Amino acid sequence: MDHEKNIPGEGNSVPLQGLGVNSLPLLGVFLLGYDLGSSSVKASLVNAETGECVSSAFFPKKEMEIKSVKAGWAEQSPETWWENLKAATKAVLEESKVAASDIKAIGISYQMHGLVLVDEKQKAIRDAIIWCDSRAVPYGQKAFDAIGAEKSLSHLLNSPGNFTLAKLAWVKENEPENYAKAKYYMLPGDYVAMRMTGKSTTTASGLSEGIAWDFKADAPAKFLFDYFGFDTALVPEIVPTFGQQGNLKADIAAELGLAEGTPVTYRAGDQSNNALSLNVLNPGEIAATAGTSGVVYGVNGNAQYDPQSRVNSFAHVNHTSAASRVGVLLCINGTAILNTWIKNNVAPEGISYAEMNELAADIPVGSEGVSIIPFGNGAERVLGNQEPGCSVHGINFLRHGKAHLIRAAHEGIAFSFKYGMDIMNDMGIETKTIRAGHANLFLSPIFRQTLANITGATIELYNTDGSIGAARGAGIGAGIYKDATEAFSTLKKIMVITPEVKDEKATKVAYEKWVEKTLNP
């Protein structure tokens, strides 16, 4: 059980006075945010004055298909994203009854590191190669070796690794006919914004997450494009993360049920957007999420990097050349996807996630010796891009059952966070307080208490998610809010979890056993 404090009275909505153009009140002003994930597309409609989410919806109700034609491959159809975005938009409009004309800005959050290629008619040439696809690892490693660690890390803050530009290199070599058709390469959010506005654009933050941004030159990394043999003309127009990025075309507005000309004013990758949604913008602040992948995201005030690129550094949403704000990202691919696998293949048929949590609650800390290594969803950067797969250790057929496996999965995921957070600590990022949305695995008492126990951090949970954060970001970009302080003044803290001293020793013993199995499988 969590050592937690519920805070029902803290952070209640406070009316925002004098916001918006000419200090007009915000009554009847709404903001629409989208979160394009690899499992679903979520839309949320937020009242700009109260910060209240008046409606939200996600589609599909079952997880979106990820095509894996070969081991290590992961692709999705951009058209599938669009169809689910339309369904989510329709649902929030029908539920809220908000007039389309009252929606004043749109924000987009999206799954990071993906590759979408479009032709001169803005049509997707092939399925998107998404974030957990690992086919580009050798292309990134070859580039890193050829360019050299010093130049790559000091200019890019990362190895080219398995990121977007390396994925483009794979297409260039293996599908030259598709590469030849490409007018632009894009991230998933760039594609959605293009469908909405008809403008092909990207952001410096987006280029950074694809390892295509030169921090020293404050421009696209020409030396890396030259190495791969890419023309920098493949980069769309660069627009600000916050600000005017285009307006809804008439035909798209009709298709979505929105008003023609509604501006798109914010766009960011899901993890930097998750940090924004928790008002994590300044050095020393930490955000976390535990969806399909698990992430801890800390903000640095300077361009630091991990020499082994086990954690990655990207331009944060508020990064500028004058005021550096670099997000250091720890990503664990196999988090909630492991929990889903356990639900579908191990837990009693028909059980809910909440019932799984209850079933595992009676199992002691340490799962009575069972350890699960959760690295079964593609190459893991925290392990140097190795792909060891998920493994289960310590099962005794006479003692252990389904509940042990459920608890061991939640503990193993928390331990993987701790393993990566130690690397962040070595970079000078302290993790004394972790902010997260009250969602996904943070709904699991076992996961969040294990994470607090093993890290010694206090965990604060808030009533927000990526789509709500994108809506608030749109309000900042449209000038409806004068700054982030105003935009997040209504953010509600709903729970605090602190470490359980009585479980400290047992958790540490379980973690040490887990580390041994991770390093010596």
pLDDT in tens, 75-91: 999 999 999 999 999 99
Whether the bond into 499 is cis, omega within 30 of 0: no
Nearest to 287 by CA among 303, 271, 304: 271
The pLDDT score that the predictor gives to residue 15 is 28
Q: What is the mean pLDDT of the chain?
A: 92
CB atoms within 10 A of CB 168: 24
The pLDDT score that the predictor gives to residue 8 is 31
Query: In this structure, what is the dihedral angle of CA atoms 388, 389, 390, 393, given to the nearest 10 degrees?
Result: -50
Q: CA 383 → CA 332, 335, 368, 424, 456, distances in Å?
A: 10, 15, 26, 14, 23
Give the residue carrying structure tokens 């954690």: 311
pLDDT average, residue stretch 270-295: 91
Domains by residue range for the chain, with CATH: 113-186+204-238 (3.30.420.40), 332-429+506-519 (3.30.420.40)
DSSP codes of every residue in 250-294: HHHHHHHT--TTPBEEEEEEHHHHHHHHTT--STT-EEEEESSSE
Strands 294-300 and 326-332, by their bridges, are antiparallel
* Helix, strand, coil percentages in the chain from 3-state DSSP, rounded to 5: 40, 20, 40
The pLDDT score that the predictor gives to residue 458 is 96
pLDDT average, residue stretch 332-338: 89
The pLDDT score that the predictor gives to residue 25 is 47
pLDDT average, residue stretch 326-334: 91
- Per the CB < 8 A criterion, the answer to whether 189 and 36 are in contact is yes
pLDDT in tens, 420-460: 999 998 888 888 999 999 988 999 999 999 999 999 999 99
Is the pLDDT at 10 greater than 80? The verdict is no
Q: In angstroms, rounded to a whole number, what is the distance separating the alpha carbons of residues 346 and 484? A: 44
Is the pLDDT at 7 greater than 50? The verdict is no
- Per the CB < 8 A criterion, the answer to whether 51 and 79 are in contact is no
Give the residue carrying structure tokens 């933050």: 205
Is the pLDDT at 519 greater than 90? The verdict is no
pLDDT in tens, 348-368: 999 999 999 999 999 999 999
The pLDDT score that the predictor gives to residue 89 is 98
